[in-house]
Homo-oligomer: A and B are copies of this chain.
């Protein structure tokens, strides 16, 4: 049994948190490969070490005096953890290398990566695990793109005879040693890559929540935790703005059929959420989750006899493609089609797109509406339960929400609903209430 365990920043923000993590790891000897994040916030207004590193590197780049002070603050932060854990570890050497590298302009990504690097050093010392620098095993190409196959090769070879190890998350390097990072939250990705490389039985992702939530806690107070979610459902919910796990973290383990278990460092008894390829376990509620995003706009196109014109839809979509705009949904009626796009992508190219549509298909009417939100109601249970759509739309009607778009394809795994931005939170609440609150 081999598990990869990744701990988020808040799980490693202080010595106290480190001890919780240590207890968790020691409680199960299959927890052999540990992926730490950089120390997160200890309290609400605290600063994450990664942010301190960015600020410090900025000061170094601008040759501002406070650079040294800022670096010392970071070192103190780590020292506090070391002291709190009663370790004899010294990071003097590491910090002098970092100071020199910052002065030499090693780059922002290098700077940012030191948070995980140093935390990994402490974690390895604390656990008595081998420290493996991610720069040696997580490979990027010269353009800063992650090289999946090469990494898999190097990483699996490197770990083959290593029983236990700490590999810092978030970063890697080119084979020439230039450090690159994943996007923010990228330690999740590292954990997933390591799990894939060693063909782990489970990838545990320890955070500060007891799993993946049915709805955004900023909108719903104390939402229910999802017990089991499929990769597909998760991908749909995360695409729609639900967060816990970095989106790119899904693909490496999914390919290998390795389940992910989202756990809470502060509540290690909670079972958290299992993310699996597929399951015949009946979901607790009809819906697995509801999520959404604001900031869409719709371009409505009307043309008499459009439906008789082969290639109409393709020509319209090509106009968007030529402007580099990806579309989200294309609901269509008779002689009408609507294209939903991200407002931010669309806004500056609006006039080119409209002109392009006129040239391409000579529409009778083109109308735009902005400030729209999309809500995705996702759940494998919806397939088996008749009346889901009826419940959703009745609930939205009772909440006085105007439904701007409905899109349900034959996956029967989700229904996507367009509403006004201003109705977004109300819509999420209405859907959560009808499926979860009425059933609790």
A78 to B326, CA, bound (A): 64
A327 touches B304 (CB 8 A): no
Q: Are A386 and B400 in contact (CB under 8 A)?
A: yes
Q: Are B387 and A397 in contact (CB under 8 A)?
A: yes
A433: interface (CB < 8 Å): no
Contacting pair A408 B331 (CB below 8 A): yes
Which of B311, B335, B395 is the one whose CB lies under 8 Å from A235?
B335
Q: Tell me if A156 counts as interface (CB < 8 A to partner B).
A: no
Q: Please judge, given known A-B contacts A236-B334, A317-B314, A406-B415, whether A395 and B390 are in contact too, CB under 8 Å.
A: yes
Contacts of A333 in B (CB 8 A): 236, 376, 407-409, 411, 413-414, 416
CB nearest to A311 among chain B residues = B321
8 tightest CB-CB pairs across the interface, nearest first?
A387-B397, A390-B394, A390-B393, A389-B393, A331-B409, A338-B409, A406-B408, A314-B317
In the assembled complex, how far is the CB of residue A108 from the closest CB belonging to chain B, in whole angstroms?
A: 24
**Complex contact B410–A418 (CB within 8 A):** yes
Partner of A409, one of B235, B336, B400: B336
- Tell me if B310 and A411 are in contact (CB < 8 A): no
Contact A408 B405 (CB under 8 A): yes
**Interface residues as binary, A327-349 with B (CB distance below 8 Å gives 1, 0 otherwise):** 11111111111100000000000
Q: How large is the interface on A (under 10, 10 to 19, 20 to 34, 35 or more residues)?
A: 35 or more
Asked if B308 and A326 make an inter-chain contact with CB atoms under 8 angstroms apart, the answer reads yes
Query: Is the CB of A412 closer than 8 A to any CB of chain B?
Result: yes
Q: How far is the CA of A80 from the CA of B311 in the complex (A)?
A: 52
B336:A313 contact, CB within 8 angstroms: no
Interface residues of A in 296-329 (CB under 8 A from B): 298, 300, 302, 304-305, 307-311, 313-314, 317-318, 320-321, 324-329
A255 to B329 alpha-carbon distance, docked (Å): 31
Q: For A310, give its contact among B300, B324, B337 (CB under 8 Å).
A: B324
Which residues on B sit within 8 Å (CB–CB) of A310? 321, 324-326
Q: A410 touches which one: B387, B392, B404 (CB < 8 A)?
A: B404
A residues with CB within 8 A of B: 232, 235-236, 239-240, 251, 254, 298, 300, 302, 304-305, 307-311, 313-314, 317-318, 320-321, 324-338, 367, 369, 376, 386-398, 400-416, 418
Query: Which residue of B is nearest A338, CB measured?
Result: B409
| A70: min CB distance to chain B, Å | 37
Q: Please name 20 pairs of A and B residues whose Cβ atoms are closer than 8 Å in the assembled complex, sorted by A.
A: A235-B304, A240-B334, A251-B304, A254-B304, A298-B410, A302-B411, A314-B314, A331-B410, A332-B407, A332-B409, A333-B409, A333-B414, A336-B411, A337-B409, A367-B410, A386-B400, A389-B389, A391-B393, A404-B412, A406-B415
Instruction: Tell me which residues across on chain B come within 8 A of A336, comparing CB atoms.
Output: 409, 411, 413
From B232, B335, B391, B406, give the contact of A407 (CB < 8 A).
Answer: B406
List residues of chain B with CB within 8 A of the CB of A338. 409-411
Chain B, residue nearest A318 (CB)? B314
Name which residue of chain B comes closest to A329, CB basis: B332
Q: Which residues of B contact A335 (CB under 8 A)?
A: 232, 235-236, 239
- Cross-interface CB contact of A369 among B331, B410, B413, cutoff 8 Å: B410
User: Once the chains are docked, how many angstroms separate the CA of A305 from the CA of B314?
Assistant: 20
Could you list 6 further interchain pairs (A-B, Cβ under 8 angstroms) beyond the known A308-B326, A314-B320?
A239-B335, A310-B325, A310-B326, A328-B332, A330-B332, A391-B393
